[in-house]
Amino acid sequence: MLDKKLKAVAMATKGFMPEVEGDALFVEACSACDELPRLPIVEVGTYCGRSTVWLGAAAERCKTVLFTVDHHSGSEENQKGWEWFDESLVDANTQKLNTLPTLLKTLQRAELGDAVVPIVAESRIASQQLSFEVAFCFIDGGHGELPTQLDFAGWTPKVAIGGRLAIHDVFSDARDGGQAPHDFIYRPALDSGEFVEISAVGSLRVLRRIKRNAI
């Protein structure tokens, strides 16, 4: 399990990852990195770094690195007028959402600077530039139809055989939450035959890559 000090940092950080799901994320990331040593972890959707603490700690334990990708201007649901808007994250100079300063403070408190590499970029652009395979890929970016489709297309091919694909906010019932992560990441991954589900905790689903289909 995650160190108590790091757990406290994670839980004090703004974000939407419940403790039980964060713990599951840490366990699965460690398992993947133990099986695929030296391969990195990727997180798509950093926000203020809550889940980054769990994944960064896994990277540090396994002597690898976490690349965490976010443009830090917030997803659609984080903007003013939407349910998940947080006024405290608005930059006083630009009057726009900017979560990067909060992330950097989170990493400083967690002392994970050597294990975490923040990438400030659109998910689509980052996925085009990072060409290596990963042991563990956690997708928790924009939850609209287009962002989830782009994340699926850009990041799932990078998961190595035996690696894990983790998806947050997977709801099969629309009454529980938005459908995009379920419809455009989770279901396509399973329907491809390349992944099998190995863990389900809350809204977190973890899949294991078992093969690559011929192109």
Residue 177: Cβ-neighbour burial (10 angstroms; 0-12, 13-18, 19+) = middle
d(CA 86, CA 13): 13
Name residues whose C-beta falls within 8 Å of residue 149's C-beta, 6 or more positions apart in sequence. 184
Per-residue pLDDT tens over the stretch 44-74 = 999 999 999 999 999 999 999 999 999 988 6
- For residue 168, indicate whether it is catalytic: no
pLDDT at 104: 95
pLDDT at 47: 92
pLDDT at 25: 97
Per-residue pLDDT tens over the stretch 149-169 = 999 999 999 999 999 999 999
pLDDT at 127: 97
Q: What type of residue is 84? A: W
d(CA 195, CA 182): 14
Catalytic member of 71, 143, 168, 182: 143
Asked which of 9-13, 95-99, 101-105 is least confident by mean pLDDT, the reply is 95-99
pLDDT at 85: 62
Per-residue pLDDT tens over the stretch 74-85 = 666 665 665 656
Per-residue pLDDT tens over the stretch 179-210 = 999 999 999 999 999 999 999 999 999 999 99
d(CA 206, CA 197): 6
d(CA 148, CA 129): 18
Per-residue pLDDT tens over the stretch 1-39 = 888 999 999 999 998 899 999 999 999 999 999 999 999
Query: Residue 207 in contact with residue 198, Cβ under 8 Å?
Result: yes
